[in-house]
Amino acid sequence: MKASYFEHHGGPEVLIYGDQPDPVPSPGEAIIDIHAASVNAADAKVRAGGAYGEIETFPYILGRDFSGVVASLGEGASDFTVGDEVFGVCEVGQEGTYAEKIAMNQALLSVKPDSLPHIDAACLALPGLTAIISLEETLKLQPGESILIQGGGGGVAGFAIELAKHIGAHVITTCSARNIDYVRGLGADEVINYTTQDFTEIVTNCDAVFETVGGEVTQKSFDVLKPGGRLAAIASGVQAPPSPRDDVESLRPAVGRDRKYMERIIELYEAGVVHVPPITVYSLADAAAASAKSESRHLTGKLAFQVR
């Protein structure tokens, strides 16, 4: 199969487009012919190595979510039949969707509706799972609460804005000038241009923060919470960030994988609650360009590969 892979850590230029062995299914796995895969911010961090961790076995194929067609089934994998259109997110610790094929635990796959193109399904998968777990399970966001969603122009945050509005929350978000109309279109009630305004001078007394940017934005975000408020951070490592206040809660969503999250994404999509974000489409051979764009951390919606 063709894949985009790398032989050592480094910048986007280490990504090579070439041949890799076809995957072989273990018991309980399905082989998927990948039609589309999305680019997630974590991919560039894995590629770069360093503080994010070192890969021990090369060549290494990035990529965590995908949509495609079941090509064959391992022993005991009876939930699907060859030809089914499915989408999903790899197990925690597994990657490899920047490729024409992948072996996946069938328990994590979900049926893709015919009406949803593969590339759209791939772009909803990991962002949707992350936003659903963060808002519904971690923050337990309630109707009438206020939430600051940091980084509204991004993949996860965009899904989160629509979900938070559906829950009935008052949504404040941050983005740069070119994303203001986009996040308003998603339903944000208040938009702060972080390049010209300091959100800590505008936002106060929030019930919740969903923090997707990282760095000093995470630490400053604690300032906007009311006593008893809670902050969920996904861009500050695998632990909840240390809180400078003892009257608020700092949380790290446990972003596990399960078919039920893919089914929830489809439920929300078919109900018109969430929409497919703007997608910039690349070929697998252009993975270096996609990775460089992702690493810039300034984009709107999603980057994705049309694989076939």
Q: How far is the CB of 294 from ligand NAP (least distance, A)?
A: 6
Q: How far is the CB of 174 from ligand NAP (least distance, A)?
A: 4
Contact 273, 265 (CB under 8 A): no
- Say whether residue 123 binds ligand NAP (CB under 6 A): no
> DSSP state, 231?
E
Contacts of 150 (CB under 8 A, 6+ apart): 157, 173, 174, 199, 209, 210, 211, 212, 213, 217, 221
Q: How far is the CB of 75 from ligand NAP (least distance, A)?
A: 30
Window of 20-28, 139-147, 201-209, 296-304 that interacts with ligand NAP by CB under 6 A: 296-304
Out of 126, 132, 203, 232, the only residue in the binding site for ligand NAP (CB under 6 A) is 126
Out of 166, 170, 220, 297, the only residue in the binding site for ligand NAP (CB under 6 A) is 297
Q: How far is the CB of 94 from ligand NAP (least distance, A)?
A: 13
Q: How far is the CB of 78 from ligand NAP (least distance, A)?
A: 29
Nearer to ligand NAP, 17 or 52 (CB): 52
Among 308, 307, 303, CA closest to 42: 303
- Say whether residue 220 binds ligand NAP (CB under 6 A): no
Radius of gyration of the chain (CA): 19
Contact 265, 132 (CB under 8 A): yes
Out of 97, 150, 218, 221, the only residue in the binding site for ligand NAP (CB under 6 A) is 150
Contact 222, 244 (CB under 8 A): yes
Distance in angstroms (rounded) separating the CA atoms of residues 43 and 101: 18
- Say whether residue 134 binds ligand NAP (CB under 6 A): no
Distance in angstroms (rounded) separating the CA atoms of residues 131 and 265: 10
- Say whether residue 219 binds ligand NAP (CB under 6 A): no
Amino acid at 12: P
Regarding beta strands 29-39 and 302-306, do their DSSP bridges make them parallel or antiparallel, or are they unpaired?
A: antiparallel
- Say whether residue 135 binds ligand NAP (CB under 6 A): no
Q: How far is the CB of 121 from ligand NAP (least distance, A)?
A: 16
For 2, 73, 257, 274, the CA distances from 29, given in Å and listed in that order, are 20, 6, 15, 30
Number of Cβ atoms within 10 Å of the Cβ of 144: 10
According to DSSP, the residues that pair with 31 across neighbouring strands are 72, 103
Window of 35-43, 135-143, 219-227, 260-268 that interacts with ligand NAP by CB under 6 A: 35-43
> DSSP state, 59?
S
| Spacing of C-alpha 149 from chain mean position | 15
Window of 14-22, 37-45, 136-144, 283-291 that interacts with ligand NAP by CB under 6 A: 37-45
Out of 14, 42, 55, 240, the only residue in the binding site for ligand NAP (CB under 6 A) is 42
Window of 164-172, 174-182, 202-210, 243-251 that interacts with ligand NAP by CB under 6 A: 174-182
The reply to whether omega before 59 is within 30° of 0 (cis) is: yes
Window of 12-20, 39-47, 223-231, 266-274 that interacts with ligand NAP by CB under 6 A: 39-47
Residue nearest to ligand NAP (CB): 154
Residues that bind ligand NAP (CB under 6 A): 40-42, 126-127, 130, 150-151, 153-157, 174-176, 179, 194, 212-214, 217, 234-235, 255, 294, 297-299
